[in-house]
Amino acid sequence: MVKRFNGQEVEQWGQFELTLDGPSAGNPFQEVRLSAQFQYKNLIVEPDGFYDGNGIYRIRFMPDRPGVWRYVTRSNISELDGHDGEFVCIQAAEGNHGPVRVKHSYLFAYEDGTPYMPFGTTCYHWTHHGNEELEELTLQTLKDSPFNKVRMCLLPTRDMRPPLNLVFAGTCPEDIDKTKFNPAFFTHLESRIKDLMQLGIEADLVLFHPYDKGYWGVDNMDAESDAFYLRYVIARLASFRNVWWSLCNEYDFNSYKTVADWDRLLQLTQGQDPYQHLRSIHNGTKMYKSSNLYDFSKPWITHQSIQHWEAELTTEWREAVAKPIVIDEISYEGNSSRRWGNISGEELTHRFWEGLSRGGFVGHGESFINKETRAWISSGGKLYGESTERIAFLRKVMEEGPEDWMAARQEGSYMLLYFGRHQHAYKHVELRKDALYRIEIIDTWEMTIKQIEGTFSGTIKVDLPGKPYIALRISMIGNVN
């Protein structure tokens, strides 16, 4: 049996999917090996396929070059082996810019070159509870928000009791079977990843975490089980262009694994993912020194995914490792009794400005405990905080500026000077003598931008409102004749 897809069109960075019928006896998840070689001219890419239950097998592929692609399947099961065919990859439609890549060491851009600045948020388990209404609400909230990346987990935590959407076969800790997956979990997750894609939101998938403590038995699996899980996840999800791999959240809180284990799993991910999606790992402990972080200079790490509550250290982290800095956790706005979940909107907004103005990126989260919906960081729902609209304002300011605002600052063409808690009455600023500048005073809390009358050059004194959370945006507008 040979299925042919002559003439089928797949968008660039879209998803081609080949569906095959095969055996359902035994444990196909473990026993069946399946992949396909996809060839464009002399380029060959070979993603793994996966068993989707009920005797159905799928191979997914994300083509990155317009033109004709041919494929042929390979399997240890003759029924699945040797299927060949072709499809045409066509130009990406509007709004499809491809996967996000690192650009200019510290920045990101989509593969088509469009700049991408992560303004992330966190909803760890918004897809696990089978509450469609809440998930739709979460998507609506995200749509109305400035957020273009969501950190979300696959594995359950000890606080999540049955029934829930479980990644492995089984329904409760007693019958969970980690030698089989739950295709329904993934089908549902994939539909949500697609929903996010439609909204222009990256899915920063957290593959492991330390929050199970042996309840489901998913944070203390052996090396073989970890690899089995990772390979399946990558086979199913890597062809979604908006996927990032966050190997673990707060990895250092998992006492079952060592840094060597994480190195191995990161390398496995690097080796298995045909598309080289962004890859990082996220620390748990609060530390003062870069040296306590995971060593982000390791070659399988694409960017620095940091937990730290002091955005001021961005400068230090940039000096330590020339990879983008994403402070994915910097404390959440809210009123939780936990230390990480109760800063004010003012404080979170401040930390965003501090991090961005130093050339890093900062992630959002909300943890209000006595509102209509439960904590956003766990379940999604609605946002109640005061930071969200300020982050939207900041994003607008950043997008109006040069793509590489730190380089522009170096060359003197653009400066975003943020004064944080300092409430200057005035400030001396050094500008180039051979250039003319426009200066605007930004009130980051009030979300106002006020241009100072006139143009400026050389060393100048700028009167400031003498209150905290003020920034200056200084833009070169011409030369001095």
335 binds its own copies (CB under 8 A): yes
**Pairwise CA distance, residues 161 & 156, whole Å:** 9
Q: Does 422 bind its own copies (CB under 8 A)?
A: yes
Residue 289 or 433 having the CB closest to its own copies? 289
Q: Does residue number 421 form part of the binding site for its own copies (CB under 8 A)?
A: yes
Identify the CA nearest to 97 among candidates 76, 78, 77, 117.
117
Q: What are phi and psi of 397, to 5 degrees?
A: -60, -45
Q: Is the dihedral of CA 50, 52, 54, 59 positive or negative?
A: negative
Site for its own copies in 281-300 (CB under 8 A): 288-289
| Three-class secondary structure of residue 351 per DSSP | helix
The residue range among 61-69, 170-178, 290-298, 424-432 that interacts with its own copies, by the rule CB under 8 A, is 424-432
Q: Which stretch binds its own copies (CB under 8 A): 194-202, 321-329, 389-397, 462-470?
A: 462-470
Considering only residues 35 to 74 of the shown chain, the ones binding its own copies according to CB under 8 A are: none
DSSP output for 304-339: EEEE-S-GGGHHHHHHH-SS-EEEEES--EE--SST
Kindly state whether residue 427 participates in binding its own copies, applying the rule CB under 8 A. Answer: yes
Task: By CB under 8 A, tell whether 334 contacts its own copies.
Answer: yes
Q: Does 98 bind its own copies (CB under 8 A)?
A: no
Contacts of 74 (CB under 8 A, 6+ apart): 34, 35, 36, 37, 46, 81, 82
| Shortest distance in whole angstroms from residue 346 CB to its own copies | 8
Contact 69, 86 (CB under 8 A): yes
Span of 49-57, 88-96, 107-115, 426-434 interacting with its own copies by CB under 8 A: 426-434
Tell which residue, 256, 271, 269, 324, has the closest CA to residue 102.
324
Site size with its own copies, rule: CB under 8 A: 27
Q: Does 337 bind its own copies (CB under 8 A)?
A: yes
CB of 388 to its own copies, least distance (A): 16
Site string for its own copies, 338-377 (x = CB under 8 A): -x--xxx--x--------------------xxx-------
Closest CA to 37 of 91, 90, 75: 75
Burial of 42 (0-12, 13-18, 19+ CB in 10 A): exposed
Q: Does 458 bind its own copies (CB under 8 A)?
A: no
* Closer to its own copies by Cβ: residue 115 or 468: 468
**Which of the stretches 61-69, 272-280, 396-404, 459-467 binds its own copies when contact is defined by CB under 8 A?**
459-467
- Interaction between residue 306 and its own copies (CB under 8 A): no
C-alpha 21/C-alpha 53 separation (Å) is: 10
99/402 Cα distance (integer angstroms): 21
Residues that bind its own copies (CB under 8 A): 288-289, 334-337, 339, 342-344, 347, 368-370, 419, 421-428, 464, 466-468
